[in-house]
Each structure stands twice: as C-alpha cells, then as structure tokens.
Amino acid sequence: MASTAPSREEAENAVRTLIRWAGDDPEREGLVDTPARVVRAYEEFFAGYTSDPVGVLERTFSEVEGYDEMIVMNDIRFESHCEHHMAPIIGKAHIGYIPDRRVVGISKLARLVDIYAKRLQIQEKMTVQIADTLHDVLQPQGVAVVIEASHQCMTTRGIHKPGASLVTSRMLGTFRKNPATRREFLRILRLSGASVAD
C-alpha cells in the first residue's frame, strides 16, 4: 500500500458516510459493526496491491528432462472488482505456455491470477498483466491467456443483462506467430469445457 493510504479509522468513517448517503443510520444495531466488516473485506478483496507478481514466479525449475511441449492450466477461478463501479467480476482464467528450459510450480500460476484479480481491474488489462508477467519472468517460447468472466456492473445494474460473459485473450511468442499452436491451445480449452472458440 502507498504510504499516503488512509488509516483504518478514516476508511471506516468513509463507510459510515456511504451508509448515511444511502439513507440509513450507521449507528443502528444492524449496521454499527458494518464499517469494520467492510474494511476487513476490502483488505481481502484488494490484497493484490500488497503482493509482488514477479516475486511469485521467480522460483522456477530447470530439471524438466527437455520438456518443451505446451503446459496448460485451465479453470483458475477468480473474483475481482471493476474499477468503474467496484462491482464484482467473477470468472475463470486459462493459462498456457511453452517452456524454454524453465517451468514454474502450477500453484504459482493460480497465485499470479489472484494477485492481479485482487486489484481494481478491467478484464482487458488483467489479461495483459498476467500474460506479460509470465512472459517476462519465465521467458518461454510463448504464452497464452484467456479469461472469461461475468461482470456484475452490467448484470445487477445499468443494462441488467444476467448470463452475459466477456472473453478476452492475449497470445505471445509462438502462440501469436503460429496458428497451429494457438488452435491446439484453444482445442485443449474446449476439451476442458471452456466456452472459448477458435
């Protein structure tokens, strides 16, 4: 967090202000503890600001016996919040890469998604951040990231279109240059039940 971050007391007072603005009394029994609960929830929702995505990927393994085929981890569930309305974004990330001598533990891929998801986001930016970080740190032959998510800012407010989902992708290296590699990745996702298409 930045050194200019408000104190916990200031954050709780801000929640009280919003409760009053909405038309309720923050001192009534059902709401008296709500400001503290909201601040604790925000610490969890936005924990990605206190984590280093590069650091998560720095421990790699080089004893892979020459493995140089595609590695795919799919259906990495995440919860984020849109930076425009602070409404939830619920979705799944699918990550593929082709190593060049180094691989990373699979839990680190899920952790990378979580770090970027637990920040105020737009899906397009999050897709780029995950792909570019993995590409920059591992320096693989290629990286592919596909994210599919439902945005509560359009399903519970505004246009009210429940069931709609957004799919974004970023292809780097051989996934961008070689259509056959890209098709293989997308075929693997379809086999897993992901709703992406060629």
pLDDT in tens, 145-155: 999 999 988 88
Q: Is 29 among the catalytic positions?
A: no
85 is an active site residue: yes
Summarised one tens digit per residue, pLDDT across range 181-198 is 999 999 999 876 665 655
DSSP-derived pairing of the beta strands 60-61 and 71-82: unpaired
Q: In angstroms, how far is CA 122 from the centroid of its own chain? A: 9
Model confidence, pTM: 0.90
Q: Which of 12, 94, 129, 151 is flagged as catalytic?
A: 151
Query: Is there a catalytic annotation at residue 58?
Result: no
DSSP 5: P
Q: Catalytic pick from 43, 79, 135, 153?
A: 153
